[in-house]
Amino acid sequence: MKKSKFRKNITILFALIGLLIVVNFFLFRGLADSSALPFVQEQGEPISGKNYVLKKREGQVVKSKKQDEKIAVASMTKIMTALYIIEHVENLDQLVEVPMAIFQEIEEQGLATAGLLQGEVLSYRELLYGIMLPSGADAALTAVQALSGSEEAFVQGMNEVATALGMTNTHFSNATGMDEQAHYSSVGDIMLLLEYALRNEFFYQLFTTLSYQTQGTNLHVEGLSFTSTIISRDESLDLRNGRILGGKTGYTVAAGLCLASLADINGEEYLLVLAGSKGDSLTEQFNIIESRLLYNQI
């Protein structure tokens, strides 16, 4: 009788141990698998970006954080630079020569370039792709000098547009996005600018182009190849229910990693302006990673 009871207890004990092993196995596997899911990261990992605003295009704000706080905007500045050129150049196929004078500022400030050479001749249209895709300061300053005669005069025009759009937290002091005390905006203001700019058919095309090849030039017979910085580090643009269509990245020490972007989610377009994400130009591109996380919350 005692042996039978002992055997019964042993059987129950082993059954409980087996059940515990099975439960722990599936629990551990579930946790391991879930770490790769976007929605788990969204809930468990805070967005490092200090400022953002996410909204339906021409619609209501979905989510925001400190959208009116003054920030350094880095190369998101070039959204205004490109828009001003588009709106003030009558013929975008007009040819422009790259001046020698721009390269001193580019070298001193360590600005990103599109690979243009002194004396190279390109159209305004090609320069615009050089501004928006590789974020080329050489393309920006070439167009700026040709259109307005000086960066100072061009920037005055940028500020006039900002005022007209109601960008009350914004003041530009350069056309490239360099950190300067008098150069600032907010993610809310950049959203106003982006939404307005995307109403322009050519700007929309420019903003959503990921790669572009220029015509052959006098110094590059086969032309120049431009690749958007949004894909230059092989970051995925795929979302759970859609895809990021395009965007303008930015980085300076003061601004952190930034991204203004457009996405298609379930057949509808959404805009996101994110600033102040952790990392830099050599790390993982947390501006893109965190933009995906925010879009995936829709």
What is the reported pTM? 0.85
Known active-site residue 34: no
Domain count across the chain: 1
pLDDT over 60 at 23, yes or no: no
Strand runs (DSSP E) across the chain, as ranges?
A: 51-56, 61-65, 95-97, 121-123, 211-213, 225-227, 238-239, 242-252, 256-265, 268-277
Q: Which of 55, 78, 148, 277 is catalytic?
A: 78
In the chain, what's the furthest Cα-to-Cα distance? 105
pLDDT single digits (tens) 140-194:
999 999 999 999 999 999 999 999 999 999 999 999 999 999 999 999 999 999 9
**Is residue 123 domain-resident?**
yes
In a domain, 35, yes or no: no
d(CA 293, CA 295): 6
Q: In this structure, is residue 8 part of a structural domain?
A: no
> CB of 273 within 8 A of CB of 262?
no
> Cβ(138)–Cβ(130) under 8 Å?
yes
Q: Report the pLDDT averaged over residues 78-106.
A: 98
For tokens 């500020």, name the residue: 159
* Alpha-carbon separation of residue 169 from 101, 103, 161, 177 (angstroms): 32, 31, 13, 16
Per annotation, catalytic residue among 55, 123, 135, 186: 135
CB 158 within 8 A of CB 139: no
CATH number, position 105: 3.40.710.10
| Domain region containing 206 | 51-296
Half-sphere exposure of 293 (CA within 13 A, CB side): 22
**Which residue is catalytic, options 55, 75, 228, 261?**
75
Establish if 12 belongs to a structural domain.
Answer: no
Query: Is residue 73 one of the residues assigned to a domain?
Result: yes
- Is residue 37 in a domain? no
